[in-house]
């Protein structure tokens, strides 16, 4: 009797542990997809798609912008220079807040241009989950 109770207790703990991992893994995948889309849209110079990654409104550098305004800002960047590559120079650090519907994200990236120049940005975002999608609600830069 004691053995079966012990086995059931261990099985129950294992199920709880596995389920709790699923709750953490799912948001991690969603935020990782957002970061990967950011990289992809930079390389494609898709300013409309980049703007769509933000909430309405979003704060960039402390200023409130609509998605269309953010897209226009990216469009200006792409009008001036053609992107050659987007490269991550650090780990993508994701720190979830209570409830797993909001997170802080940081990473260092280099954006190379066809003229041989590049910029390095330390990105610092706050991201939120709205419905089933993750969006950037605050960013220190484009």
The arithmetic mean of pLDDT across residues 100-113, rounded, is 97
CA atoms within 13 A on the CB side of 45: 14
The arithmetic mean of pLDDT across residues 75-103, rounded, is 96
Tokens matching residue 112: 């190379």
**104, 125 in Cβ contact below 8 A?**
yes
- Whole-number Å distance between alpha carbons of 30 and 108: 19
What is residue 21's predicted lDDT score, i.e. its pLDDT?
45
Domain span at residue 87 reads: 5-139
Return the residue matching tokens 């309405």: 56
Residue 75 has pLDDT above 90, yes or no: yes
Residue 83 has pLDDT above 90, yes or no: yes
Q: Give the CA dihedral 48, 54, 58, 64, nearest 10 degrees.
A: -10
The CATH number of whichever domain residue 93 belongs to comes to 3.10.450.50
CA atoms within 13 A on the CB side of 7: 4
**pLDDT band at residue 42 using 50, 70 and 90 as cut-offs:** very high
Instruction: Please report, rounded to a whole number, the percentage of residues in the chain having pLDDT higher than 70.
Output: 83
**50, 141 in Cβ contact below 8 A?**
no
Residue 18 has pLDDT above 60, yes or no: no
What is residue 4's predicted lDDT score, i.e. its pLDDT?
59
Number of domains in the chain: 1
Tokens matching residue 18: 């596995």
Gyration radius of the chain over CA positions: 20
Tokens matching residue 22: 């699923």
Residue 92 has pLDDT above 50, yes or no: yes
What is residue 5's predicted lDDT score, i.e. its pLDDT?
59
């Amino acid at each position: 009797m004691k053995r079966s109770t012990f086995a059931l207790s261990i099985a129950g703990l294992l199920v709880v542990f596995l389920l709790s991992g699923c709750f953490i893994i799912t948001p991690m995948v969603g935020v990782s997809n957002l970061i990967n889309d950011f990289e992809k849209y930079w390389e494609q110079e898709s300013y409309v798609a980049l703007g769509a990654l933000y909430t309405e409104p979003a704060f960039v550098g402390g200023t409130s912008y609509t998605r269309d305004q953010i897209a226009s800002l990216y469009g200006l960047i792409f009008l001036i220079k053609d992107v050659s590559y987007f490269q991550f120079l650090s780990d993508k650090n994701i720190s979830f807040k209570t409830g797993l519907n909001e997170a802080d994200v940081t990473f260092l990236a280099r954006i190379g241009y066809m003229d041989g120049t590049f910029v390095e940005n330390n990105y610092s975002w706050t991201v939120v989950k709205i419905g089933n999608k993750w969006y950037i609600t605050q960013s220190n830069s484009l």
